[in-house]
Structure 1
Amino acid sequence: MEAHRAADRTAATPPLPPLRDPDGSARAWADEAIRRLEADTRRSADTHLHAVPLPATWGVDLYLKDESTHRTGSLKHRLARSLFLFGLVNGWIREGTVVVEASSGSTAVSEAYFARLIGVPFIAVMTRGTSREKIALIEQYGGRCHFVDAAGEVYGEAARLAKECGGHYLDQFTYAERATDWRGNNNIAETIFAQLEVERHPVPRWIVVGAGTGGTSTTIGRYVRYRRFATRLAVVDPERSAFYPSWETGQAADGGASRIEGIGRPRLEPSFNPAIVDLMVPVPDGASVAAMRDFKQRFGFDAGPSTGTNLWGVWQLIAEMVAAGERGSVVTLMCDGGSRYANSYGNDAWLAENGLDPAPYAGILEEFFATGRWPERA
């Protein structure tokens, strides 16, 4: 009898209604956009981790993560992909959505590439001083450049444009740290440690990076802590930036317009987490240019100015390791290539016009490489 009653109950249960997507065409478009982003990633091998030859007597190995080999030529390729995926899975980017970004250049180049890949319009808001080479790349990928006079104006103008056209403001300075999965999923920190696995010092003593949004330093800092590595995180910062004084005092500080493209900001950005930074190194702008130029002459790497900022901090940390007799490894990033700055940081007349003099710092580098010691006057 109970069996019959159970059968009756089953028979009386109405079938589930068919799955309905209230906006099937929009969901199908987003699925195809995400597929294109994923396919683009699968077609790309990871960026190289170059061993930079240093004197064997120093006992220190330096590795350069060459982010200039991405399709769009910079570290920001990773961030742009993450921001587009974040916008798609949140339903913020749909077919025909005008995508807007506030950028100092490289992020916008990468975002223009991904916008074209999924077929949406893209507008980059940037200062008039952005290098002509970057502007040409943005336009080459189908993006449109919208200029403002001061670095602090990019945020509000990007938000205004997005609202005006019913578009989506990617807002890298807010979302960089949350759009990237810091636990792994092929983020830059995970790939660095995977590439170091068979080196003689697979867990680096230091990883040295700059900060633009703060997303890269935050991702690396979180990953190192999550995996319980002994690695320390150093962030280098150019003149006028708000990051270093904010870290030093523990209070959000105001800064000015950075003269080193791609890093340094006039305010403490939401994506920068100073609590997980072990050391910050303020770097004179002339020193960034000197280190960039010296690196090309000495080792053959044609890097941009933010890589020069990284290196100025790297050489000081390596000098400290050599002085202490400490053996180990250091990792830094080649953020982009020097060809993007041929008419600016590669041009002596432009440097003089902008008050940047690398000459005093070139001698410091010569002394360091001759002795392994960091000069006290530096």
Structure 2
Amino acid sequence: MNYSTSVLEIIGRTPMVKIGNGRADGGPLMLAKLEFFNPGGSIKDRMASHILQKAVKEGKLKKGDTVIDNSSGNTGVAMAMVASILGLKAIVTVPDKTSKEKVDLIRSYGAEVIVTPSDVDHEDPRGCYMTAINLAKEHGYFHMNQYHNQDNVMAHYLTTGPEIWQDTEGKVTHFVAGIGTGGTFSGTTRYLKEKKPSLLAVAVDPVGSIFAEYIKTRRVGHAEAYKIEGIGSDTVTEALHPQLVDDVITVKDGDAFETARELARREGISIGGSAGGAIWAARKVAEKLTKDDVVVVIIADSGTRYLSKCFNDIWMKEQGFLKETPEVL
């Protein structure tokens, strides 16, 4: 009989599907790697599974222990799912801009969710990052530390990169991914560049995040508010290896959300806002490419986690991303 003994065994090996590249005159083959096929529904399953299983094997974690990390949602879901299988308790600190769908999903795995203000500085003890760190120190919890843990990077070096290389038969020429912690981008790019040094890796950052300026100048600017969840940052992370970035493209909230909505309605693929931003950026890259190029874009999660946000017309209008449609009499 063909079956798995745990959902941990079916993380990865996600499919790729051809999507429109935004051009009417041909251009490159564009492939979307659909990470919402992971059992926890996002690319973060790879990281959480790798980090927590490794910690158990090394004796750093045992059944009944508590793991904690900050998250915009997907890492929290993945950590809670993996923790439930390994017999661990999980606490997730999230910013208050996290969608209700993701908060409820985290709780469905039995994890505790602590909602924190999102309009505070990175080092503010009220924010999700410092709340997780302080609770870990105070109670001796295992801090997964997704921002700075090199095992985050390694999870994608060992899985995401090899999968893309194998499934494109080594023909991938461009890799495009949003950067949140930077782990997906860094691990995948490192593997692909080892296989093909000519590969061009493009990072995608929301307007308001500090990453784009840091990558270009190595200076840390001041972060501003943005609505896209899962990518961008108000601090430099060690999981991002900037020397691997060939180009960085900034995307506005509205462009990311509209691209996500358009893909669902035209190609039947429901994706989150961060993936919408990645596709928007990939189409910018595609403007200068030929039919011989192959662009792979990471689709971090699905639109089902944002039904109350970018797929909700009322929310989109309230945020100024969707214009009122005149009533036809």
TM-score by length of 1: 0.77
After superposition, residues 175-254 of structure 1 pair within 5 angstroms as 175=149, 177-181=150-154, 185=158, 187-197=159-169, 202-254=170-222
Aligned-pair identity in percent equals 27
Aligned partners of 1:258 and 1:265 also within 8 Å: no
Deviations 1:13-56 (A, max 9, x none): xxxxxxxxxxxxxxxxxxxxxxxx99544345611111225679
Counterpart in 2 of 1:255?
A: 223
The count of aligned residue pairs is 313
Q: Which has the higher helix share?
A: 1
Counterpart in 2 of 1:354?
A: 319
Letter in 2 for 1:297: R
Mark the runs of 5 or more structure 1 residues left unpaired by the alignment: 1-36, 360-378
1:258–1:271 Cα change, 3 Å? farther
Correspondent of 1:42 among 9, 22, 46: 9
- Between 1:242-251 and 1:103-112, the stretch displaced more is 242-251
Cα deviation for residue 95 of structure 1 reads 2.5
- Between 1:208-217 and 1:149-158, the stretch displaced more is 149-158
Cα deviation for residue 272 of structure 1 reads 0.9
Cα deviation for residue 167 of structure 1 reads 1.3
Q: State whether structure 2 residue 266 is matched by structure 1 residue 298.
A: yes
Cα deviation for residue 182 of structure 1 reads 6.8
After superposition, residues 278-357 of structure 1 pair within 5 angstroms as 278-321=246-289, 325=290, 327-355=292-320, 357=321
How many Å separate the matches in 1 of 2:94 and 2:156? 32
1:285–1:53 Cα change, 3 Å? closer
Mark the runs of 5 or more structure 2 residues left unpaired by the alignment: 324-329
Cα deviation for residue 101 of structure 1 reads 0.8
Please give the root-mean-square deviation of Cα atoms over the aligned residues, in Å. 2.2
1:147–1:182 Cα change, 3 Å? closer
Cα deviation for residue 58 of structure 1 reads 1.0
Deviations 1:62-117 (A, max 9, x none): 11100001101011111111221233244332222111111110110011000100
Letter in 2 for 1:160: N
Higher relative contact order (CA 8 A, sep 6+): 2
Letter in 2 for 1:353: E
How many Å separate the matches in 2 of 1:184 and 1:352? 40
After superposition, residues 358-369 of structure 1 pair within 5 angstroms as none
Deviations 1:170-222 (A, max 9, x none): 111111x334437954x10110111111xxxx422211000111001110221
Aligned partners of 1:52 and 1:299 also within 8 Å: yes
1:319–1:72 Cα change, 3 Å? same
Deviations 1:319-341 (A, max 9, x none): 111xxx55211110111111110
Cα deviation for residue 168 of structure 1 reads 1.0
Correspondent of 2:130 among 136, 139, 156: 156
Counterpart in 2 of 1:167?
A: 141
The higher radius of gyration belongs to 1
TM-score by length of 2: 0.88
